[in-house]
């Protein structure tokens, strides 16, 4: 029994601010994110299936990730609920697409959130293997299923 990993890359634009941070990232700022989604599974061997030989059709993976991650986060502002009412009120007045989350919106916490979402959305025969979220050209966070079991 052979398992194969397949990966698809996604891009989106998002802004965030880190509440109570001691550097410039405490201010709202944006990034051009790259997200690498790697799934694992066995290739489908049903000769009657149009998906024969695939772990998952890249088009299906694209639809799942776009609908649940990219479309959600793209061109949004993310801030922590701990920021408090004055800051949250300003965000609500200034931006149409924003999310107040129960975590500090660091690259590490964002990739964990994304993993938790995708685990619930993938077909039963496909496992989420890893995510790599690049916040800048030289900085990224990775999530691996084996580290989180």
Ranges of each domain in the chain: 4-142
Q: Which of 80, 56, 65 is nearest to 34 (CA)?
A: 65
| Catalytic-role residue among 25, 87, 108, 127 | 25
Confidence (pLDDT) at 84: 82
Distance between first and last Cα of the chain: 22
Record the pTM.
Answer: 0.94
25 catalytic? Reply is yes
135 a catalytic residue = yes
Catalytic residue among 13, 29, 63, 75: 75
Asked about 45 being catalytic, the answer comes back as no
pLDDT tens-place string over residues 34-72: 999 999 999 988 778 888 889 999 999 999 999 999 999
**CATH domain 4-142 topology:** Tetrahydropterin Synthase; Chain A (3.30.479)
Banded pLDDT at 1 (limits 50, 70, 90):
low
Instruction: Please tell me which residue in 16, 113, 134, 135 is annotated as part of the active site.
Output: 135
């Amino acid at each position: 029994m052979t398992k194969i990993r397949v990966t698809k890359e996604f891009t989106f634009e998002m802004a965030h601010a880190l509440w109570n941070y001691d550097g410039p990232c405490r201010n709202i700022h944006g990034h051009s994110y790259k997200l690498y989604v790697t799934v694992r599974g066995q290739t489908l061997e049903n000769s009657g299936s149009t998906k024969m030989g695939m772990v998952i059709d890249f088009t299906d993976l694209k639809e799942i990730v776009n609908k649940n991650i990219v479309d959600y986060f793209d061109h949004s502002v993310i801030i922590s609920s701990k920021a408090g009412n004055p800051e949250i009120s300003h965000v609500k007045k200034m931006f149409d697409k924003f999310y107040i989350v129960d975590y500090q919106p660091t690259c590490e916490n964002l990739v964990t959130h994304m993993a938790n979402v995708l685990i619930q959305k993938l077909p039963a025969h496909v496992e989420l293997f890893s995510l790599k979220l690049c916040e800048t050209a030289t900085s990224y966070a990775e999530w691996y299923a084996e580290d989180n079991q």
